């Protein structure tokens, strides 16, 4: 008799658990606007990441293909895992030698998105981008040169 009682009690508990779960499902079924589940990748065109999302390090360029990087190397020094390599070159301006950025290399595969490079850049030359699809077949594609071909430093930084 005691065994039968336990058996019936366990069935009743199972039914109650099922009803509890279905209550949550039913609540959202009649309030579809409250559902936060994203239908990815079907919503790829409209999907917008939240403001603080860090997807990759970028170097913003303006419409004249100008950036703010002086090639000082501070971001490279501050990156905790060697994800940045700053290669600078020497040029002559008005008879004086000057160092400028040649390649700002970013190893996306190693980056932990800690944001230290962005915070430490004295020229405000870096920013975190919101791109979230980085899958590639060839891992060499995860090594990026952030300063665009033919780009120059902006006049306001030069002065």
**CA pair distance 85, 122, nearest whole angstrom:** 17
DSSP state of 148: P
The residue (of 2 and 90) whose beta carbon lies closer to ligand SF4 is 90
Between 42 and 159, name the residue whose CB sits nearer to ligand SF4.
159
Nearer to ligand SF4, 36 or 130 (CB): 130
Q: CB-based contacts of 109: which residues, under 8 Å, 6+ apart?
A: 139, 142, 143
Nearest to 54 by CA among 9, 98, 119: 119
Q: Which residues bind ligand SF4 (CB under 6 A)?
A: 57, 69-75, 78-79, 81, 83-84, 86, 111-117, 121, 123, 125-126
Give the nearer residue to ligand SF4 in terms of CB position, either 72 or 145: 72
CB of 123 to ligand SF4, least distance (A): 4
Least distance (Å) from ligand SF4 to the CB of residue 72?
A: 4
Tokens 């895992």 belong to 81
Cβ pair 153, 100 in contact under 8 A: yes
């Amino acid at each position: 008799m005691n065994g039968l009682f336990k058996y019936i009690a366990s069935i009743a508990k199972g039914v109650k658990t099922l009803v509890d779960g279905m209550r949550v499902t039913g609540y959202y079924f009649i309030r579809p606007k409250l559902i936060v589940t994203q239908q990815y990748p079907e919503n790829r065109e409209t999907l917008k990441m939240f403001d603080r999302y860090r997807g990759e390090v970028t170097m913003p360029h303006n419409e004249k293909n100008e950036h703010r990087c002086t090639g000082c190397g501070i971001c490279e020094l501050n990156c905790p895992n060697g994800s940045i390599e700053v290669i600078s070159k020497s040029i002559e301006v008005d008879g004086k030698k000057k160092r400028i950025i040649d390649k700002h290399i970013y190893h996306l595969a190693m980056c932990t998105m800690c944001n230290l490079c962005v915070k430490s850049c004295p020229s405000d030359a870096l920013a975190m981008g919101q791109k979230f699809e980085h899958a590639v077949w060839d891992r060499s594609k995860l090594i990026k040169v952030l300063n665009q071909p033919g780009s120059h430093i902006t006049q306001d930084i030069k002065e």
